[in-house]
A and B are shown apart, each in its own frame.
Chain A
Amino acid sequence: MIGALRKELLLQWRTRTQFMAVFIFGATALLLFSFGVGPNAEILRQFSAGFLWLGLLLSSTLTLAESFHSEMENRALEGLLLLPADPRALYYGKALANWIQLTLLGWALVPVMVVLYDAGTNRLPSLLLIIALGAAGLSAPGTLYGAMTAQIRAKQTLLPLLLFPLIVPALLSSVKATSLVILGDPMHALGSWLMLLGAFDAIYWALCGLLYGRVVED
């Protein structure tokens, strides 16, 4: 799995312009969301957590699909499976790499959110942790469905179609936790939302790793 992760990170490093492009896409999305509300600072601050996560969710469909581009253009994934490489190791390598990339993307979008929506917080470590946990929730099923949809026509449409309904709990708890950190948490509910998010992550990191082999093999 170390080998698989090393390969993924090397591939991502080689295509780092892609990361910049997705970041700009996410930042543009955050800018556009504010036009959906209007120049009302208070309402924008109220919605900031939701906008951050929707921006990250939309960006994630780009990075997840892209992470299978290099596997499919020369069927490199098939080449690895025939060595034979353990599909589970391949899955966790890629899912971890996608997780790291999405987490970095989410962290990079935080300053954009703070500036555009006046959504500052003095609990920055908590916010970064929430983003990492939420990104884990997106990347685990996202990597599995990315592998599926990379193999068929209409990949761009099908990935969000399959992924979006599934990650509702992760999205919900990430948004809720983020807004508690930004807007204040008088009821101390942050812990239970993080628990829910952690449970979602644990279930899907285990389940998707188990099922990945069936998806990539003929």
Chain B
Amino acid sequence: MSEFAIDAQRLARRYGRRWALADVTFRVPPGSVVMVAGRNGSGKSTLLRVLATAIRPDNGNASIFGFDLVKQREDVRRAVALLSHYSYLYESLTAKENLQVTADHLGVSRDSIPALLDQVELGPRADDAVATFSAGMRKRLSFARVLMQKPRVVLLDEPYGQLDPPGFALVDEVVSALKARGTTVLMATHQLERGAQQSDLAIFLEEGRLQWSGKAAEAPLGATR
């Protein structure tokens, strides 16, 4: 049993001829909040998708609470929830129905759905089809989906993207709540100041490689673009 929430060893992933992620090694102790920073195309999303087992690593491996990313995929998936840049929502279903589908497949009760919808401030729109939602509302609903999974590790891909200022506050609130609960959070974001405030640790990626890692408070925020 590894004492790390995330233990990534030389992770690499390629798309065609390009290595989107190349040789990334880092460790995250349980309960910490980690900011993943880097420019567009630096491999942030790829890293999160690999850790969530949405895509396989082409080289290297990682473990989540000791569960092997490749060999113990089911266990990793039970421990991890990913807020992807894909919304994972069905357009023709309503907000409530989308969460019902999630609950049914998770095998949890549907009772928590109204409370979750209120938490992400979508209560009044619960019975509207997702097709009528704005990008920010979809993000909120995806957030509810993540919270429903009650994960030990949360991977957030651009949680602030497409949200309005109240949405920013909501994300901060949720992240703090997760942290208070002892959940490990990995957050890829371009909002460096805001992200660093929320985080204990930070990772900077460039062209798929680990460029800098350390305490968030010491992160070279000005040095990266």
Contacts and interface: CB of A to CB of B under 8 A. Distances in A.
Interface of A: 2-4, 6-7, 10-11, 14-15, 70, 73-76, 78-85, 218
Given A11-B93, A73-B91, A79-B86, 20 more contacts: A3-B101, A3-B105, A11-B92, A14-B92, A14-B93, A14-B129, A70-B91, A74-B86, A75-B84, A75-B86, A75-B88, A76-B88, A76-B89, A78-B54, A78-B84, A79-B88, A80-B88, A82-B53, A83-B105, A84-B74
A78 B87 CA distance: 10
Contacts of B74: 84
Contacts of B140: none
Contacts of B84: 75, 78-79
Closest 9 A/B residue pairs (Cβ): A79-B88, A3-B104, A84-B77, A75-B86, A14-B92, A85-B105, A218-B55, A74-B87, A7-B101
B213 to A, nearest CB: 26
Contacts of B55: 218
Contacts of B102: 79-80, 83
A35 B213 CA distance: 72
Contacts of B52: 82
B104 A82 contact: no
30 contacts: A3-B101, A6-B104, A7-B104, A11-B90, A11-B92, A14-B129, A70-B90, A70-B91, A73-B91, A74-B91, A75-B86, A76-B90, A78-B86, A79-B86, A79-B89, A79-B102, A79-B145, A80-B102, A81-B77, A82-B52, A82-B80, A82-B82, A83-B77, A83-B102, A83-B105, A83-B106, A83-B149, A84-B74, A84-B77, A84-B78
A215 B104 CA distance: 23
Nearest to A75: B86
Interface of B: 52-56, 73-74, 77-78, 80-82, 84, 86-93, 97, 101-102, 104-106, 129, 145, 149
A74 B55 CA distance: 16
Contacts of A15: 92
Contacts of B56: 218
A78 B89 CA distance: 10
Contacts of B105: 3-4, 80, 83, 85
Contacts of B92: 11, 14-15, 70
Nearest to B74: A84
Nearest to A74: B87
Contacts of B53: 82
Contacts of A7: 90, 101, 104
A22 to B, nearest CB: 16
B88 A74 contact: yes
Contacts of B129: 14
Contact of B97 (A2, A10, A75, A218): A10
A82 B84 CA distance: 11
Contacts of B80: 82
A146 to B, nearest CB: 17
Of A6, A10, A84, chain B has the most CB atoms within 10 Å of the CB of A84
A81 to B, nearest CB: 8
Contacts of A6: 104
A74 B78 contact: no
Contacts of A83: 77, 102, 105-106, 149
A184 B154 CA distance: 64
Given A3-B105, A6-B104, A7-B101, A82 B91 contact: no
Given A3-B101, A4-B105, A75-B84, A82 B90 contact: no
B93 A82 contact: no
Contacts of A73: 91
Nearest to B76: A84
A10 B84 CA distance: 24
B89 A74 contact: yes
Nearest to B55: A218
